């Protein structure tokens, strides 16, 4: 079986052709990445991808959506596209479709990916639990959060909007970051601190604390300078980001009961894969007072599959329609 899989975020829409074998194995073609700002709608992006594929596509599609999924109308959290599920078949010319939240798709990928697709970050160096809840989160344009519940016979995925819970600072630097953000936002969510664009406010806060005047770099420039080590202040901002990510990941595990494991996902998580183990991420993840011992027993991983959203979209389609759909 072949189907089109799509991972739609705030900045990019990634398309690929997925092949599902009789034994359930999933293989992906080389993905095509389109910029959401270059297309007026998802349909025009679909038509662009179809043209790139020679004018025809399989008659099934699975979409991973960065935002809440509903039966009537889907509005994206960080881009202006709208999808109306009742019109998907007629607008795209398909017979079957699946639509899931983007981090629900990533959770499907976590459930099905082999152990060699995970990098160990913290806790005991052992596989994710075969039973219980696994928390999945990842910073990108926003902060995606989901979880999956495993039993001996299968698994179930639940998408959440955990990225929009309140940010809780733990030290004076995070107090200063919160104060800066509160000048613009009456309520500051964790997504304002733990996402790709958030590095700008972290960087500017650190500069203000040192009474430095720094250029108005965008987030891409700060991440690049910080990861390359060309700018010590940018490197400090990256380290601070890792601390906050550890705190939030630990909070999500406590809230969801993610004691079978925690998985960091997303392109930004993969980009900082070498930085996270040497940062204060693990210490902050464990720093939950009376529950520090419990947190230390949770395996924390980074999924290193190059396209977990696309892979997970295919897995979600199989979960809904079956391998032989």
Binding-site sequence positions: 6-11
Q: How many helices (H) and strands (E) does the chain have?
A: 11, 14
C-alpha distances out from residue 113 to 14, 15, 121, 260, Å: 19, 20, 17, 15
Say how many Å lie between the first and final Cα of the chain, rounded.
7
Residue 261 and residue 252: Cα distance in Å, rounded?
11
Residue 278 and residue 43: Cα distance in Å, rounded?
43
Q: How many CB atoms lie within 10 A of CB 257?
A: 13
Q: Closest by alpha carbon to 240, among 186, 296, 284, 304?
A: 284
Residue 245 and residue 138: Cα distance in Å, rounded?
9
Residue 62 and residue 97: Cα distance in Å, rounded?
5
**Beta-ladder partners of 138:** 144
Which residues sit in the known binding site for ATP? 6-11
**Phi and psi torsions of 67, nearest 5°:** 160, 175
What own/partner pairs with CB < 8 Å and gap ≥ 24 does 152-160 have? 155/111, 157/100, 157/104, 157/107, 157/108, 157/111, 157/316, 157/319, 158/104, 158/107, 159/68, 159/69, 159/100, 159/101, 159/103, 159/104, 159/107, 160/103, 160/256
Q: How many CB atoms lie within 10 A of CB 90?
A: 8
């Amino acid at each position: 079986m072949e189907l089109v899989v799509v991972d739609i975020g705030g900045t990019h829409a990634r398309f690929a052709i997925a092949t599902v074998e009789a034994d359930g194995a999933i293989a992906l073609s080389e993905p095509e990445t389109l910029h959401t700002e270059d297309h007026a709608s998802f349909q025009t992006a679909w038509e662009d991808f179809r043209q790139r594929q020679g004018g025809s596509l399989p008659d099934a599609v699975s979409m991973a959506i960065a935002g809440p999924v509903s039966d009537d109308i889907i509005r994206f959290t960080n881009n202006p596209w709208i999808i109306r599920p009742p019109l998907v078949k007629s607008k795209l010319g398909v017979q079957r479709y699946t639509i899931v939240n983007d981090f629900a798709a990533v959770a499907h990928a976590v459930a099905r990916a082999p152990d060699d697709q995970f990098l160990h970050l913290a806790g005991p160096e052992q596989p994710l639990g075969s039973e219980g809840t696994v928390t999945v989160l990842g910073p990108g344009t926003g902060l995606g959060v989901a979880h999956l519940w495993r039993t001996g016979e299968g698994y179930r995925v639940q998408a959440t909007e955990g990225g929009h819970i309140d940010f809780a600072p733990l030290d004076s630097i995070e107090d200063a970051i919160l104060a800066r953000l509160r000048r613009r936002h009456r309520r500051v969510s964790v997504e304002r601190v733990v996402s790709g664009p958030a590095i700008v406010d972290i960087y500017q806060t650190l500069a203000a604390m040192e009474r430095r005047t720094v250029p108005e770099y965008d987030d891409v420039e700060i991440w690049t300078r910080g990861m390359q080590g060309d700018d010590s202040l940018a490197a400090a901002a990256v380290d601070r980001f890792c601390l906050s990510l550890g705190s939030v990941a630990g909070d999500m595990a406590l809230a969801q009961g993610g004691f079978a494991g925690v998985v960091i996902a997303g392109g930004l998580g993969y980009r900082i894969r070498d930085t996270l183990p040497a940062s204060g991420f693990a210490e902050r993840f464990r720093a939950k007072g009376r529950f520090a011992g419990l947190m230390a027993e949770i395996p924390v991983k980074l999924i290193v599959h190059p396209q977990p959203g696309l892979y997970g979209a295919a897995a979600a389609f199989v979960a809904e329609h079956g391998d032989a759909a």
